[in-house]
Amino acid sequence: MTNTGSFTTTGGLRLYTRAWLPSNTPAAHVILIHGYGDHCGRYERFARALNDASLAVHSYDQRGFGRSQGKRGYVGRFNDLLADLDRFLQVVEPDVHGKPVFMLGQSFGGLITVRYAETRQPGFSGLVLCSPFLGFSETIPKPLLQLGKYIARVAPWMPVSKVEAKGLSRRPEVVAAADQDPLGYHGTVRARTGAEMQKAVEDAFNDISRLSLPLYIVHGDADSIVPVSGSQRLYAQCASTDKTLRVFPGGYHELWQDLDEETMVTGVREWLRQRL
């Protein structure tokens, strides 16, 4: 069963929500945070696979993406995204009924998940990071990254990069669907957005000793959008004692709909079930 709705942020934006519920009583709940340019509707098959393991999945379109309000594709303050997640967790609390809660973040959603865990210290049962955005692609010139904070101050709307859908999956139909998706964001990354991303990555590693929850990371070593090196660094430096890093040879950015989809999804599902 799928339920849709919305909630209001502290700043008055309406954000679209979606929940996928198993046919039986959920054994646990998964909070799914989508990536940049993305929206929660793209995770239907992944969520249904988790439902098959009696896991309920709750998600929302982040501000500026999908069906939610906000400046399209623009991140003015990264901390606003964490505050939005605070509100969403308040909204879903009545549905959780004291059951275990996990958080699953894809790409930029993985960065949000990491920063949320570090800054809020939530009592989650674990975190799943799928191709987490913890470093910048080598295709972005290093001088541009160094100048990013200055550019963001003087020209916040200046376009600085763009995510190419061809790096999402080795399946042509996935790339075509993403390119044609009317709810996806197909524009450029603005300077202020890039600077906020960069600072959040820096903060994530500055606070890495505060990340101690059980952790399962998956990343493809052929990911051209987000380098696997960030996941490797997080795995090596975080304080979690229960942690796993699984690197998929030849894997692209969205492993949950890449050639190794079944292996990846099964691994996530089994890891979650083992921690109930």
Contact 59, 40 (CB under 8 A): yes
pLDDT for 142: 61
In this prediction, residue 150 has a pLDDT band, given cuts at 50, 70 and 90, of low
pLDDT for 170: 98
d(CA 229, CA 267): 21
pLDDT for 1: 86
Could you tell me how far CA 119 lies from the centroid of its own chain?
16
In this prediction, residue 106 has a pLDDT band, given cuts at 50, 70 and 90, of very high
DSSP codes joined into one string, 225-268: SS-HHHHHHHHHHS--SSEEEEEETT--S-GGGSTTHHHHHHHH
Q: Which amino acid is at 99?
A: K
Reported pTM: 0.95
pLDDT for 97: 83
In this prediction, residue 140 has a pLDDT band, given cuts at 50, 70 and 90, of low
Half-sphere exposure (Cβ direction) of 221: Cα atoms closer than 13 Å: 7
| Share above pLDDT 70 across residues of the chain, in percent, rounded to a whole number | 92
d(CA 108, CA 119): 17
Q: What is the mean pLDDT of the chain?
A: 93
Domain ranges, ordered by start, for the chain: 2-136+166-186+199-273
pLDDT at 35 over 60: yes
| Share above pLDDT 90 across residues of the chain, in percent, rounded to a whole number | 87
Q: Distance from first CA to last CA of the chain, Å, rounded?
A: 22
CATH, range 2-136+166-186+199-273: 3.40.50.1820
